[in-house]
Structure 1
């Protein structure tokens, strides 16, 4: 029997293990289920049932005793609440209610209960074998209904045990089992993976390139679930999804409005399509967090001014952009009011592309209403066509590289046949079928009430962590000990209670207020916590599941204080404790609360933050904290403590104005000299040279320069570096000196190679024919 064919029934009754007529009958039902090879999970109390059901998604049927605990109205209310809780999590699982006599039990039920129950059973009237048969039939029907189109077809195909005379050549894993190394590989992953690794030769599963058969059905099902007119499965991540959208809408010399806070794949798409970028510049706050693009950047007048200033446009007066790409949410969790963005940009462009790589869950929770691309609200007549590219694997449940393109047609609808040409250019004729099946299953997981349940759990866990951190901060600071400290969290300091309309400290807010009230997370004008100016109310909201922990060191005005704890040291400490964050800045650390997070995980995170504080306060020797670091660089770190390392690193950042240089470097756009495609052509043709940062003044970079963090282009391909003592090169020089001063804490900068302590970058040759 394959794993997906196994069935499990949950029986909830307080007499199941008792030597009573009902207890003995239930055990005969359990035996009858076992005869059908169905396992039974027996739960003897209401409390256990409530806690257990959330952790029993493998249940295929539930039996509930209506008189659980007694026959009074309170007992019936308890059973009703349990049924309600089950239905909130799962709209489709069969629920059998039993009692004796059942007629009296149904008389005590209202219509809300009756409509949620699949069958009513009097276990003392029908035979246990008959009841087991009814349960088995219902469980089988439910199990089959769980299989979405493509995954269901794969499961059915695997049951046929066909011989493979087609690719892939391992033939269901047989080839791997002919070698010792191959058998280790086979045993590690298990036979099901290899049996499901198929090819386009299996016609009954359909074609990804032609969108036919069960694969086409799966894409249409995903479109329904995610609110799109059409959905495409992408098997090489949202980096490829972004390129596919560009290839379907953009060609040579077309103008594209580009969020400067864009993923590197947008740069690649601009290069490959030979198009021209016109940048929309986002804001930044005191921590270096990248904010939204101000509305003033999106007006027709502002866009026209940008086009007229672009040196690559042949006829600035007549040129119009054909496409716009906006990152939503930002990497730090800032979400636009999507309909406002569409309303503004739609006056200038026919096609708007939201890169929602980190945001595929937004549709499934009302907290995010109006803040994502595929909304259900009425469409504006003549509005733009809208794309959303989503990394399903990032914060939903899918295998890595599994992504989707969602389309909502507007005034220039997408022609599938033409768009599919670009899709096929970036898709394989040999895609990994388990990867596509994971996309199909992800759609099923988010369909109906389940999507809200799963997203709400993530939101609640993130809020609990935020509240705990805020309360710890308040308690530590109230203790009155001089120079005591705790980690902050970048979040509102006060929230408005929707009932009383009074403002209360964030730490005192209830879980319900923060979970159900989007206004609690909006970047309201004048609120000091977020540090952004010029944003209208309700334009931008912080996503609660993207939690930025703030380390001490940055003042409210953005300058560095006399002491601080750089985030890089905390990140390294957490990594030694098996905790890996998403990204970090100079004094910020980002943690993602996905559907895979648990209370235990964030509880451990807080414990380890306390451990860091203890070692910092006690001046623990560095060799006890980072022995590998001290062993690798003994002449640099021997004799230091955790606090002295933090002090020295913070002093360097303060003396060299590192955070201020970062702000200055990103405050103005560099001068564009050649288009992306020409810069790349120079790389291929060898018309580039390695130039050290201290000699790069005025040069044209051939590749984008992306410091991480923040992960957006400091310099885009084809832009000039500016003056040698200008902010861009001064900032890069500062990073170079930091890396030399603190080995083991080097920066990650795409487009820069650290060669024996010197930052080198590819620049166009000034005299290419030499």
Structure 2
């Protein structure tokens, strides 16, 4: 296939009929005759917008003749050089390789400062050579640049798809041909396109290498990604970081091993505990009454405290090996709280065999000094002496991977090297023998995109856009004065421009914005690209206001206005400033929030402002938006839900069985379905996960306490009263009996505990 990367010419005379215009157009025609696309413009315009062309162009040609230098006065020359320097710097800030040429009739390199000259690929003096010769020279450099762009696997995949070979291997659509035999298949083919289907191949294609044994172009791409991410090893994973986590655990943990785990970890870690037969001891994070999960206090990580937890756990006390096999923490919570990894390495090196950081939401951190030491593996970081470091990352969440694109990064210790063959046995246990090659290619490309300086520029742009959004939200709040507006959770001090200092984002014990209590100095930071928006109605201390706006109504409103939110809590919702977020997107969100405010203040009827929602839930048709918000707010207030959920997650969870043993009871059908009203004291056989926040509350083998049962009763009553705003709890089994929806949980049979 032919990729579109035009050569960009910037010359004020590009459309003029003078000799300069005729000359540059002759060069443009010569390059077009060689098959290159040309984009000609007459001024630098807005630098930031033109610099975006570096991702779409194959070369730049910049004029430096009298028209650009304003006739030649010292002031005009200084201004022209300043513009030229700014443009070149803006290009090189993101792209160190794209060819840049200067050309002129009267001026030469003698008129250009060295700091500009050193960034150039050439200097063209018009009319000394034929346009055809100059065109071939520029095209050679442009093609060399383009040839060097593709990382190993993506290059091999493109070559294979372009080769025109007949496919006799899986998948059965044979490069998309099968779809062409059916009307609906034709629609599918037209929607996804020829290239995606031709590139959908199986592991029988030897020239693409093997993901399963990490050979060929796949292996070259994994090595390339390891270099870019400053790791010793990288493994691409095509079914998400849930699977990456299980691979790490199965390579490290065996039945009966003690493991130390963040209590608010992702459910894949709890699945790993069940699958490996491990004995978990949990580190308890802080939490504020807005439902935002905070950091695990530094004191929880001391070996003295971990040993106390081991001694208090009847199954851990009986373990043969008392040294924990692995520590897994969530390195970047949903809301962006992260840890100083160097502090944890100093505390735990050699005391726990493997330190595993679930960095699903933090793959960008290694590419900017803003996050120095606040991520697992990075440049110029000391190795641990004994403990192996693993980082599992979702390249599809904050980088440019396709959905399910993930990777495992490994940092060896001074005295402990990774046995790749042994690790691959665990890898094979969880990967598909038919991996999706487009996902592999996206892992490859997502890593290559982060190569310096481009990766640093992309991350810095994300931080800047996130801070600009926060500044815009504060500006609106100030203009409303005493009226209400949405708040963005985060530090009180916000720099007026740029990205400011990372010290502004360190979470300090004395700060009153976070609600996490007394925290250790320089141990935690908030990632500014994670923005949690707070709706009116609930204070950080858990006090309900007289009126309120539950976040679930706001997010439904936004969805009907084309803005889809990542996560929703009681009075908060969450957005991320990934490298794909633009000014247009966050400004659209901001205007949609202003529209919500206007409709709320006018108490517009629900049929008008949420027509799709009302079509599915006609009971709300005639009620006003503000009135419905108040009804749900009062229901939350009456049950004191903020405190209830806080106490629920911080309450003691007593293990009655090993998680693997309790889950085995389900496999053997030694369970019974217990009504919510009868749950207190019973042992769960399943993961119980309320949404929000999507964090497992109980794991198999733990007992229901009164606080948890009270919450489930509230959820049942709330769902009955406000259908469409259901409190979702994964693990609850619903049955409609005599016209009433009842809720049950699968528990271990009483005679089997």
TM over 0.5: yes
Q: Which residue number in structure 1 is paired with residue 489 of structure 2? A: 490
Assess if the C-alpha contact under 8 Å between 1:489 and 1:550 holds in 2: yes
Hey, what's the Cα distance between the residues in 2 that align with 1:572 and 1:111?
Answer: 56
Check if 1:689 corresponds to 2:672: yes
Hey, what's the Cα distance between the residues in 2 that align with 1:166 and 1:554?
Answer: 59
Q: Which residue number in structure 2 is paired with residue 432 of structure 1? A: 436
- Residues 1:39 and 1:709: Cα distance change in structure 2 (over 3 Å): same
Partner SS, residue 175 of structure 1: helix
Partner SS, residue 55 of structure 2: coil
- Residues 1:376 and 1:632: Cα distance change in structure 2 (over 3 Å): closer
Check if 1:626 corresponds to 2:610: yes
Q: Which residue number in structure 2 is paired with residue 256 of structure 1? A: 259
Assess if the C-alpha contact under 8 Å between 2:258 and 2:321 holds in 1: no
Q: Which residue number in structure 2 is paired with residue 63 of structure 1? A: 61
Partner SS, residue 738 of structure 1: helix
Hey, what's the Cα distance between the residues in 2 that align with 1:323 and 1:63?
Answer: 55
Q: Which residue number in structure 2 is paired with residue 146 of structure 1? A: 149
Check if 1:552 corresponds to 2:532: no
Q: Which residue number in structure 1 is paired with residue 464 of structure 2? A: 460
Partner SS, residue 38 of structure 1: coil
Spell out the pairing of 1:292-303 with structure 2 (5 A cutoff): 292-303=295-306
Q: Which residue number in structure 2 is paired with residue 647 of structure 1? A: 630
More moved, 67-76 vs 264-273? 67-76
Assess if the C-alpha contact under 8 Å between 2:95 and 2:454 holds in 1: yes
More moved, 27-36 vs 108-117? 108-117
Q: Which residue number in structure 1 is paired with residue 88 of structure 2? A: 83
Check if 1:18 corresponds to 2:12: no
Aligned-residue offset at 1:563: 1.5
Instruction: Give 1:364's match in structure 2, choosing from 361, 364, 367.
Output: 367
RMSD: 1.7
Hey, what's the Cα distance between the residues in 2 that align with 1:219 and 1:733?
Answer: 49
Check if 1:446 corresponds to 2:450: yes
- Residues 1:317 and 1:676: Cα distance change in structure 2 (over 3 Å): closer
Aligned-residue offset at 1:718: 1.0
Instruction: Give 1:179's match in structure 2, choosing from 182, 188, 198.
Output: 182
- Residues 1:638 and 1:516: Cα distance change in structure 2 (over 3 Å): closer
Q: Which residue number in structure 2 is paired with residue 497 of structure 1? A: none
Q: Which residue number in structure 2 is paired with residue 503 of structure 1? A: none
- Residues 1:534 and 1:111: Cα distance change in structure 2 (over 3 Å): same
Q: Which residue number in structure 2 is paired with residue 520 of structure 1? A: 504
Aligned-residue offset at 1:286: 2.4
Q: Which residue number in structure 1 is paired with residue 710 of structure 2? A: 730
Q: Which residue number in structure 1 is paired with residue 694 of structure 2? A: 711
More moved, 312-321 vs 567-576? 312-321
Assess if the C-alpha contact under 8 Å between 2:236 and 2:443 holds in 1: yes
Aligned-residue offset at 1:49: 5.5
- Residues 1:345 and 1:669: Cα distance change in structure 2 (over 3 Å): farther
Assess if the C-alpha contact under 8 Å between 2:350 and 2:385 holds in 1: no
- Residues 1:474 and 1:392: Cα distance change in structure 2 (over 3 Å): same
Partner SS, residue 3 of structure 1: coil
Assess if the C-alpha contact under 8 Å between 1:308 and 1:316 holds in 2: no
Q: Which residue number in structure 2 is paired with residue 43 of structure 1? A: 41
Assess if the C-alpha contact under 8 Å between 2:108 and 2:125 holds in 1: no
More moved, 136-145 vs 621-630? 621-630
Partner SS, residue 565 of structure 1: coil
Partner SS, residue 458 of structure 1: helix
Hey, what's the Cα distance between the residues in 1 that align with 2:722 and 2:281?
Answer: 38
Aligned-residue offset at 1:166: 2.4
More moved, 675-684 vs 380-389? 380-389
Instruction: Give 2:497's match in structure 1, choosing from 499, 511, 518.
Output: 511
Moved over 6 A (4+): none
Hey, what's the Cα distance between the residues in 2 that align with 1:175 and 1:524?
Answer: 60
Assess if the C-alpha contact under 8 Å between 2:510 and 2:518 holds in 1: no
Aligned-residue offset at 1:51: 2.1
Q: Which residue number in structure 2 is paired with residue 423 of structure 1? A: 427
Q: Which residue number in structure 2 is paired with residue 323 of structure 1? A: 326
Hey, what's the Cα distance between the residues in 1 that align with 2:383 and 2:405?
Answer: 31
Aligned-residue offset at 1:628: 4.4
Aligned-residue offset at 1:259: 0.5
Aligned-residue offset at 1:380: 4.6
- Residues 1:416 and 1:672: Cα distance change in structure 2 (over 3 Å): same
Assess if the C-alpha contact under 8 Å between 1:566 and 1:586 holds in 2: yes
Q: Which residue number in structure 2 is paired with residue 269 of structure 1? A: 272
Hey, what's the Cα distance between the residues in 1 that align with 2:163 and 2:530?
Answer: 45
Assess if the C-alpha contact under 8 Å between 1:554 and 1:564 holds in 2: yes
Hey, what's the Cα distance between the residues in 1 that align with 2:351 and 2:54?
Answer: 51
Aligned-residue offset at 1:633: 4.4
Aligned-residue offset at 1:7: 3.8
Check if 1:615 corresponds to 2:599: yes
More moved, 40-49 vs 224-233? 40-49
Q: Which residue number in structure 2 is paired with residue 657 of structure 1? A: 640
Q: Which residue number in structure 2 is paired with residue 344 of structure 1? A: 347
Hey, what's the Cα distance between the residues in 2 that align with 1:473 and 1:81?
Answer: 35
Hey, what's the Cα distance between the residues in 1 that align with 2:196 and 2:459?
Answer: 28
Q: Which residue number in structure 1 is paired with residue 569 of structure 2? A: 585
Assess if the C-alpha contact under 8 Å between 2:288 and 2:540 holds in 1: no
More moved, 155-164 vs 225-234? 155-164
Q: Which residue number in structure 2 is paired with residue 531 of structure 1? A: 515
Structure 1, residues 297-349: CA drift from partner, whole Å, max 9, x if none?
10010000001111112546961101011101111111111111222233530
Hey, what's the Cα distance between the residues in 2 that align with 1:750 and 1:150?
Answer: 39
Aligned-residue offset at 1:48: 4.6
Hey, what's the Cα distance between the residues in 2 that align with 1:7 and 1:581?
Answer: 34
Partner SS, residue 422 of structure 2: helix
Check if 1:166 corresponds to 2:150: no
Aligned-residue offset at 1:378: 3.8
Hey, what's the Cα distance between the residues in 1 that align with 2:621 and 2:84?
Answer: 65
Assess if the C-alpha contact under 8 Å between 1:98 and 1:120 holds in 2: yes
Q: Which residue number in structure 1 is paired with residue 31 of structure 2? A: 33
Partner SS, residue 289 of structure 1: coil
Hey, what's the Cα distance between the residues in 2 that align with 1:633 and 1:446?
Answer: 46
Assess if the C-alpha contact under 8 Å between 1:752 and 1:761 holds in 2: yes
Assess if the C-alpha contact under 8 Å between 2:51 and 2:87 holds in 1: no
Partner SS, residue 124 of structure 1: coil
Q: Which runs of 5+ in 1 are unaligned?
A: 495-505
Assess if the C-alpha contact under 8 Å between 2:400 and 2:442 holds in 1: yes
- Residues 1:129 and 1:628: Cα distance change in structure 2 (over 3 Å): closer
Assess if the C-alpha contact under 8 Å between 1:328 and 1:334 holds in 2: yes
Aligned-residue offset at 1:125: 1.2
Aligned-residue offset at 1:207: 0.7
Partner SS, residue 46 of structure 1: coil
Partner SS, residue 226 of structure 2: helix
Partner SS, residue 520 of structure 2: coil
Aligned-residue offset at 1:402: 0.7
Assess if the C-alpha contact under 8 Å between 2:310 and 2:317 holds in 1: no
Spell out the pairing of 1:86-235 with structure 2 (5 A cutoff): 86-101=91-106, 104-235=107-238
Q: Which residue number in structure 2 is paired with residue 748 of structure 1? A: 728
Aligned-residue offset at 1:625: 2.2
Q: Which residue number in structure 2 is paired with residue 500 of structure 1? A: none
| Paired residue total | 741
